[in-house]
Amino acid sequence: MANTNTVIWKPIKGFEGQPDRFNVTFKRCTQGYLMTITDVSYDRTI
């Protein structure tokens, strides 16, 4: 059976020229994967 949980990342309109604002990491867990999203631009603006 094919895996249909494929996520296709598309550029968001207005953010094409921006650096990556979010740092996304995946960690292997017993239940699957844990996805952590960190807003990296928040630290720079302070």
pLDDT at position 31, please?
84
Has residue 5 got a pLDDT over 80?
no
The pLDDT value recorded for residue 16 is: 55
Longest dimension (CA), the chain: 48
Domain ranges of the chain: 11-46
Close Cβ partners of 38 (under 8 Å, ≥ 6 residues apart): 22, 23, 24, 25
Assigned token pair, 40 = 């990296």
Strands, E assignment, the chain: 22-29, 32-39
Summarised one tens digit per residue, pLDDT across range 8-44 is: 666 656 655 555 677 788 888 888 888 888 776 655 5
**3 state DSSP class of 40:** coil
